[in-house]
Every structure is written in structure tokens, then in C-alpha cells.
């Protein structure tokens, strides 16, 4: 039977448990994963694991034989209002392990560029 990490009889009690950082890690979660979850679910943001620390974590790197994982660094963009160009040769610059990070980062950057252009055009 599966258990939720946060569970309580009422929403108010559930809210208090979440805010206080009381949670249960199921028995079937590996020890390495449990350690990582505890690093991520720290109540105080300044004490939580950084992205760099998470990418170096044992559980994240189980079965990974490549080079050390590092956060994706977005290439610099030069915006030229109203037109701009963004060109990347994804096959030469990205390995398959980077594709998810690249995809998410590209979506965020695209949204940011559109928002910036819309904001600048209204001035």
C-alpha cells in the first residue's frame, strides 16, 4: 500500500504538517533517494540543497557514466528590437543527457524574450 508523504485527517492539520516539514518517506524508497529528499525538503530555503549539490548527489548519479553533471548554462542572447535571432546547433552542443534541461531552459528563455519584447513595445 502506498502512502502520501504528507497525510492528515483535515486540511488544516495537513497544512500545518507541510509548513512544519513533517513528512514520511515510504519504506520502498532507497536510502540514497531518502537522503536526497531530505536535502530538498528542508523548511528553510537557505539551508536547502543547491542545484549543483543535487546534481552531485549519489542517487542522481546512479548508473550515470558520463562526465560530471552540471546545470545547463544558457548561451548569451543579443536582443535586437523588434527582431532577434537565436541560433544553436543542438546536435553539436548538447548530449542526450542535456536535452531535458535544454528543453526546459529554452522554453523559459523563449517566454522571457517574448515578455521582454512585449514590455518594450508598450513603452
Question: Which structural domain range is residue 49 located in?
Answer: 11-60
The pLDDT of residue 95 is 57
User: Is residue 15 domain-resident?
Assistant: yes
User: Is residue 36 domain-resident?
Assistant: yes
The pLDDT of residue 111 is 73
The model's pLDDT over 70-93, given as tens digits with 9 standing for 90+, comes to 778 888 776 655 555 555 554 455
The model's pLDDT over 10-69, given as tens digits with 9 standing for 90+, comes to 888 888 887 887 777 888 889 999 999 889 888 888 999 998 898 888 888 888 777 777
Separation CA 102–CA 112 (nearest Å): 15
User: Is residue 24 domain-resident?
Assistant: yes
User: Is residue 67 domain-resident?
Assistant: no
Within 5-116, strands assigned E span none
Distances in Å between the Cα of 53 and the Cα atoms of 44, 50, 67, 76 are 16, 5, 15, 24
Total count of domains within the chain: 1
pLDDT for residue 1 is more than 80: no
Separation CA 88–CA 110 (nearest Å): 13
Amino acid at each position: 500500500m502506498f502512502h502520501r508523504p504528507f497525510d492528515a485527517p483535515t486540511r488544516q492539520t495537513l497544512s500545518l504538517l507541510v509548513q512544519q516539514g513533517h513528512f514520511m518517506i515510504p519504506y520502498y524508497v532507497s536510502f540514497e533517494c531518502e537522503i536526497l529528499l531530505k536535502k530538498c525538503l528542508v523548511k528553510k530555503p537557505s539551508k536547502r540543497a543547491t542545484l549543483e549539490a543535487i546534481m552531485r548527489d549519489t542517487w542522481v548519479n546512479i548508473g550515470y557514466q558520463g562526465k560530471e553533471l552540471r546545470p545547463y548554462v544558457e548561451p548569451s542572447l543579443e536582443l535586437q528590437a523588434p527582431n532577434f535571432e537565436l541560433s544553436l546547433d543542438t546536435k553539436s552542443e548538447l548530449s542526450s543527457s542535456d536535452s531535458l534541461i535544454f528543453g526546459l531552459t529554452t522554453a523559459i528563455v523563449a517566454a522571457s524574450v517574448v515578455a521582454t519584447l512585449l514590455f518594450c513595445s508598450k513603452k
